[in-house]
Amino acid sequence: MEASQIVEIRWSDRWQAYRRLQELGISCSCSSGQPLKVLVRNTSEAIQLWSVVRQFNEPRYQLAFWLNDCLQKSS
C-alpha cells in the first residue's frame, strides 16, 4: 500500500502538522503556498496521519471526550 495524499488542514496549522509527521518518520512535503502532501506507505502510517490531522481539525472538547471515553473503556 502506497498512496500520496493532499491533507486538508488549515493553512495556519500545516507546518506544525508537517513537523509532527516528520517526527513520526512519515514522508511528507510542505512548500510555501502549497498544501501539505503526505506519502502513506502502510496501514500504520495511515492511522498516524489520521491521528495527527484529527488533532488539528477536531474541536478540543471532542478530543477530550474521545480520550476520556477510551480511558474508561480500557479500565
Q: What is the mean pLDDT of residues 42-66?
A: 90
- The CB density around residue 28, as the number of other CB atoms within 10 Å, is 22
pTM, two decimals, is 0.79
State the pLDDT at residue 32. Answer: 87
Of 9, 63, 59, 10, give the one whose Cα is nearest residue 38. 9
State the pLDDT at residue 72. Answer: 87
Confidence of residue 1 (pLDDT cuts 50, 70, 90): low
CATH number of the domain bearing residue 68: 3.30.1370
Number of domains observed in the structure of the chain: 1
Which of residues 56 and 75 earns the better pLDDT score? Answer: 56
* Structural domain boundaries, residue 42: 3-74
List the beta bridge partners of residue 36: 7
Q: What is the mean pLDDT of residues 19-40?
A: 94
